[in-house]
């Protein structure tokens, strides 16, 4: 095939990308365009096909069908080293006998680049570890080694940087710091980052756009706020944070709102927040959008009554389970304001504004029920 330019630039485009292992379809006819310079996350549970997708882009796995393009160049058949793509894995794979700057410089030297030392030092400055350039990897913490692995991956400015659960081995606090750090670095270098993770909070913290994958296909694609506020399937609603999903039926409309009958309660939501205007639906609302109140503080909105069955104090907030008349429990998260949490056993009214609801078409939803 024709020589691939060092940095062809342009969007990463996957067209009908498919990978089967025997009879098993790991990636199923995937169509996806990842804009140049974006921070993109492939998010999904274990086994959904995200790593296989990444490995095909890296050239480590051969697609069964479909094409991979970077800009206008088809790289589907290119060897891994011919692609303008680098990967950062969870394991750092640094050379233990080389010092840090030599580790970062290694790939540049192999490609006979000029000024390799200066370029490697620039990459180390970007990850804020230039002062450790002469140490050996064994003298660095896990978080520092991960940053060196990142510096090594971006030093030759690939068009696309693939990140395969790179923060998985770090403890929670370091993970949170590195998420912010990775976002800063991506903005600074402007390369396309494709980040694979099963951690919804990590994907939402970092990515401009998220593709939620399930069983080899993309369930929904969008920016974090849209996916969270307007999930299009119960799978997405449940995978991105907690959702209360109540079984209902569209019973009418009231001006701008649609009215959903949920076990006799008439719940309103704006028409554009419902996937359908007829038939069976799942009425969804996020736990933190719910407000527990008594009748004296009631404001206009949707209301439903139940009994508190559990109260868990978590510091910033308290999470309640509230059992509704038909036996379903919903989760309510309330910010703590210093007043003592409610005790289990009490009757409460739960309220929320119509614009915080969403409705999914139960007939169209493969995961409903
Ligand atoms: P994880 O987060 O656990 O890595 P994933 O979403 O990245 O999961 P993949 O590693 O892409 O999932 O795997 C997708 C499916 O393909 C899994 O069911 C896996 O068992 C299967 N699979 C992956 N590689 C192979 C292989 N070489 N041979 C057979 N099956 C495979």
Structural domain includes residue 79? yes
- For a mutational test of ligand 1's pocket, the pick from 14, 18, 52, 91, i.e. the residue with the most ligand atoms closer than 8 A to its C-beta, is 52
Which residue's CA is the closest to the ligand 1 atom numbered 20? Answer: 47
6-40 burial string, b = 16+ CB within 10 Å, else e?
Answer: eebebbbbbbebbbeeeeebbbbebebebebbbbb
The rounded Å distance from CA 27 to ligand 1 centre is: 9
Indicate if 125 and 152 belong to the same structural domain: yes
Indicate if 164 and 67 belong to the same structural domain: yes
Structural domain includes residue 214? yes
Structural domain includes residue 368? no
Domain span at 61? 12-229
- Give the burial class of 260: count Cβ atoms within 10 A of its Cβ; 0-12 exposed, 13-18 middle, 19 or more buried: buried
The rounded Å distance from CA 21 to ligand 1 centre is: 9
The set of protein residues with a Cβ atom below 6 angstroms from ligand 1 is 21, 24, 26, 44, 46-52, 198
pLDDT recorded at residue 2:
41
Structural domain includes residue 20? yes
- Give me the helix-helix angle, 172-189 and 142-154, nearest 10°: 20
Please say whether the beta carbons of 239 and 44 come within 8 A: yes
Cα 183 to the chain's mean position, in Å? Answer: 13
Given 173, 199, 229, the domain boundary residue is 229
Indicate if 92 and 223 belong to the same structural domain: yes
Which residue's CA is the closest to the ligand 1 atom numbered 12? Answer: 47
The rounded Å distance from CA 87 to ligand 1 centre is: 17
For the chain, the domain total comes to 2
Structural domain includes residue 3? no
pLDDT recorded at residue 90:
82
Structural domain includes residue 234? no
Structural domain includes residue 74? yes
Structural domain includes residue 367? no
The CATH number for 150's domain is: 3.40.50.300
- Assessment of whether the complete model's pTM goes beyond 0.80: yes
Indicate if 46 and 154 belong to the same structural domain: yes
Given 200, 229, 258, the domain boundary residue is 229
CA-nearest of 163, 3, 166, 137 to 73 is 3
Indicate if 222 and 302 belong to the same structural domain: no
Indicate if 215 and 268 belong to the same structural domain: no
Indicate if 249 and 207 belong to the same structural domain: no
Indicate if 216 and 289 belong to the same structural domain: no
The CATH number for 352's domain is: 2.40.50.140
Indicate if 99 and 171 belong to the same structural domain: yes
Given 229, 264, 285, the domain boundary residue is 229
List the pLDDT tens digit at each of the 369 positions of the chain: 444 445 557 999 999 999 999 999 999 999 999 999 999 999 999 999 999 999 999 999 999 999 999 999 999 999 998 999 999 988 888 999 999 999 999 988 887 778 899 999 999 999 999 999 999 999 999 889 989 999 999 998 999 999 999 888 888 888 898 899 999 999 999 999 999 999 999 999 999 999 999 999 999 999 999 999 999 999 999 999 999 999 999 999 988 999 999 999 999 999 999 999 999 999 999 999 999 986 656 566 899 999 999 999 999 999 999 999 999 999 999 999 888 889 999 999 999 999 999 999 998 776 654
Q: Note the ipTM here.
A: 0.95
């Amino acid at each position: 095939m024709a020589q691939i330019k060092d940095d062809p630039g342009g969007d990463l485009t996957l067209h009908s990308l498919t990978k089967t292992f025997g009879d098993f379809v790991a990636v199923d006819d995937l169509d996806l365009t990842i804009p140049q310079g974006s921070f993109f996350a492939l998010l999904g549970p274990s086994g959904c096909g995200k790593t296989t997708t990444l490995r095909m882009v890296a050239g480590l796995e051969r697609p069964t069908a479909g094409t991979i393009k970077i800009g206008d160049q088809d790289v589907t058949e290119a060897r891994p080293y011919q692609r303008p793509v680098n990967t950062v894995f969870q394991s750092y794979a640094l050379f233990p006998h080389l010092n840090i700057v030599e580790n970062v410089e290694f790939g540049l030297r192999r490609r006979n680049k000029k000024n390799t030392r200066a370029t490697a030092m620039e990459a180390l400055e970007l990850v804020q570890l230039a002062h450790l350039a002469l140490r050996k990897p064994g003298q660095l913490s896990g978080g520092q080694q991960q940053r060196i692995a990142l510096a090594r991956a971006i030093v030759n400015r690939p068009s696309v940087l693939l990140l395969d659960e790179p923060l998985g081995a770090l403890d929670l606090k370091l993970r949170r710091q590195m998420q912010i750090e990775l976002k800063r670095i991506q903005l600074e270098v402007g390369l396309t980052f494709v980040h694979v993770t099963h951690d919804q909070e990590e994907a939402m913290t970092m990515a401009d756009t998220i593709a939620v994958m399930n069983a080899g296909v993309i369930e929904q694609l969008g920016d974090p706020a849209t996916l969270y506020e307007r999930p299009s399937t119960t799978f997405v609603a449940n995978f991105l944070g907690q959702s209360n999903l109540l079984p209902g039926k569209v019973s009418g409309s009231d001006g701008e709102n649609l009215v959903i009958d949920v076990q006799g309660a008439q719940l309103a939501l704006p028409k554009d927040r419902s996937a359908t205007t007829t038939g069976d639906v799942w009425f969804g609302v996020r736990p933190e959008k719910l407000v527990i109140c008594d009748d004296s503080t009631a404001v206009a909105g949707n209301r439903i009554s139940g009994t508190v069955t559990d109260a868990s104090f978590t510091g910033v907030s308290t999470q309640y389970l509230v059992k509704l008349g038909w036996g379903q429990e919903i989760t309510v998260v309330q910010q703590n304001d210093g007043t003592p949490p409610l005790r289990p056993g009490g009757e409460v009214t739960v309220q929320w504004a119509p614009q915080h609801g969403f409705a999914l078409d139960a007939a169209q939803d493969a995961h409903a029920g």
